[in-house]
Amino acid sequence: MSGSTANGRWGEPGEPGEPHPTDGPEMSGVELAGWMRQVYELAVRTPTITRARLVAAAIPPAVLTLATRELQARGLLRPGDAPDSWEATTPAVTVSALAAPQDLHQVELLCTLQELHNATSSVTAGATREIRILRDNSPRTAFEFGIDLPVHRQRLLGAGGHPVRSRATYDTGVLQLPRAGEVLRARGEAGEESRFIAGIPFSVVVADEMAAVIDLTSYDSSGRGSLLIRDRRFVLGLRALADSFWRLAAPITAAHKPEMDARSRLILAVMATGATDATIAHQAGVSKRTVERTVRSLMEELGATTRFQAGVQAARRGWL
């Protein structure tokens, strides 16, 4: 953020165009930029947004005062007709103005879960065409799956408030999370396309070709070590990685075999993703022994000697 020092504090009182240090909570430029993005995103999606609405969206009041002041100074917000209300200026013209000098770093180290959340929000909000997602079974993934279902049902909107395509490849371990099925169905209702594969090493969110976030909370639950990346070469590499996992992964779909019961259809569909018997049992609501027995029966019927072959044969027969 322009005017912040190396330790993240604001400049001395009286510097033109900079907030006074006592005007709001102390925070780094990256943290404030993240809050500013959240305020601006909400303003873009709401013709006239009020202070009450922003506070209800979990923007701290002290931060809100500072964020709206900075956004107005940059021409991103203008006062609404009613007191304590604002309107966003044209997104296509102003999105680039959200970038502060610190944000222009090509690779930025994230040190807290809040910074990771802010970075992810800014990257997804900046997309214009497609979001690619890799999700390992990390603490942050578990946290996100605990969010209320109506939030998951919200259509993903990018720059300008336009819907963008969302393709998510999940580690099969995610299927063991509480409410995993409900959450995935809700996200599907919001337009997310999803596939599953075992062995995703870390989470990644890639917006078009411009920015990406690497989430390393599987290795440090505090979020430290995660990265915000704007180097296009690095972003393209991560996009290719996400595409590779997507091609190798399998969707969970209903099997089209009239005489197959619903439980066997679900077991076959989850098995085809490479999930373990424990995960399949959790999703199907049966014992591990029942899963093993059903899988053996399906493999015999399909003439397969491995589960991979069973998945291939089931797909060829139109069961998946």
pLDDT for 264-278, tens place per residue? 878 888 887 778 888
Measured at the alpha carbon of residue 30, what is the angle toward residues 58 and 94, in degrees to the nearest 5? 80
Name the strand (E) or helix (H) holding 132. strand 130-135
Q: Are 71 and 34 in contact (CB under 8 A)?
A: no
- Residue range 178-194: average pLDDT? 89
- Residue range 280-290: average pLDDT? 88
Q: How far apart are CA 218 and CA 136, in angstroms?
A: 8
For 23-32, write each residue's pLDDT tens digit.
456 666 667 8
Q: The pTM is what?
A: 0.55
CA distances to 127, 165, 215, 233 from 204, in Å: 14, 16, 6, 15
β-strand pairing of 226-229 with 193-197: unpaired
State what percent of residues in the chain have pLDDT above 90.
Answer: 28
CA-closest candidate to residue 158, choices 37, 31, 41, 242: 41
Collapsed DSSP state (helix, strand, coil) of residue 101: helix
Q: Is the pLDDT of residue 18 over 80?
A: no
- Residue range 296-319: average pLDDT? 76
Model pLDDT, residue 242: 95
CA distances to 75, 83, 167, 196, 279 from 93, in Å: 10, 26, 27, 38, 47
Q: What is the mean pLDDT of the chain?
A: 80
